Amino acid sequence: MHNRLMVALDVENRAQALAVRDKLGDAAGWLKVGLRLFVAEGPQLVRELATTHRIFLDLKFHDIPNTVAQAIESAGALGVDMVNIHAAGGEAMLEAAATAAGRFPSMQLIAVTVLTSDPMPAEQARQVALQRARLAQQYGLQGVVCSVHEVAAIKASCGHDFVTVTPGIRWGGQDVQDQKRVADPAAAINAGSDYLVVGRPILKASDPHAAATEAVAMMQRAAG
Ligand code: C5P
């Protein structure tokens, strides 16, 4: 199960990132590098983190098709295991991105459907997420980022093998912060989520290793 837990390294710099990585050890199989850390430290840190963990490069590309395709090629050359784009970027962008990602078979290309912080009503979010997931699948993407509440509908429509990556994970009365559609690790597994993205509940914990281990234990119990 630890290979289905992605820890969001939403920290300032290399030293903090390596400190979290070292505290986690193998409690989580994946590290997610987002905008803040990548802008601060760049590809060298990604290479360093990739020596011990699988890497989800969460830069949510959204630009003209050619620019996005080039960025995907750079991500592939860097050797990350997963990269993402905004499904809202349109069909030509999805197609160009999927073509570029096709040259790197071990890298999964995922689309962001609706941000979990988006204030749109839950039912509307579900419909938009589903529509964008179908579009992403049509263009050959491997899966989507979505909230736990949209996983069942997406799996029902796109099939079990279509990957779902779910942020907005909270448990035990944790502060939801800016997330709007949250769920706990057990609910995420029960819904069929493939990968759980957890940031602040682990980063801000007094013991990040214990917090990650607790999340994995909840995932394991849910899986039976
Ligand atoms: O701290 P927290 O657990 O809320 O972190 C969630 C992580 O998932 C952040 O890195 C955020 O950028 C990312 N994310 C998200 N919603 C999406 C896509 C990514 O929260 N739809």
Mutate which of 116, 178, 198 for ligand 1 pocket (most atoms within 8 A of beta carbon): 116
Give distance in angstroms: CA of 167 to centre of ligand 1.
5
As a whole number of angstroms, the distance between CA 128 and CA 120 comes to 10
Residue 35 has pLDDT above 90, yes or no: yes
HSE at residue 25, side-chain half, CA atoms within 13 A, is 7
Residue 201 has pLDDT above 90, yes or no: yes
Going from the C-alpha of 157 to that of each of 13, 49, 130, 135, the distances in angstroms are: 40, 35, 8, 11
Ligand 1 within 6 A of CB of 112: yes
Q: Dump pLDDT digits (tens) for 5-24.
A: 999 999 999 999 999 999 99
Note the Cα 94 to chain centre separation in Å. 17
Residue 130 has pLDDT above 80, yes or no: yes
Residue 181 has pLDDT above 80, yes or no: no
Q: Dump pLDDT digits (tens) for 116-129.
A: 778 888 889 889 98
pLDDT band at 50 (very low <50, low <70, confident <90, very high): very high
Residue nearest to atom 21 of ligand 1 (CA): 115
Pair of tokens at residue 76: 């592939």
Ligand 1 nearest-atom number relative to CA 177: 4
Residue nearest to atom 11 of ligand 1 (CA): 167
Helices 91-101 and 65-78: crossing angle in degrees, nearest 10, is 30
Give distance in angstroms: CA of 160 to centre of ligand 1.
23
Catalytic residue among 60, 155, 180, 204: 60
pLDDT at residue number 215: 98
For the segment 87-110, the average pLDDT, to the nearest whole number, is 97
Q: Rounded to 5 degrees, what are φ and ψ at 223?
A: -75, -15
Structure-token match 């980022």, residue found: 145
Ligand 1 within 6 A of CB of 196: no
What 3-state DSSP class applies to 93? helix
As a whole number of angstroms, the distance between CA 34 and CA 1 comes to 22
Residue nearest to atom 8 of ligand 1 (CA): 167
pLDDT at residue number 49: 98
As a whole number of angstroms, the distance between CA 193 and CA 191 comes to 6
Pair of tokens at residue 113: 């459907």
Query: What domains appear along the chain, each with residue ranges and CATH number?
Result: 2-223 (3.20.20.70)
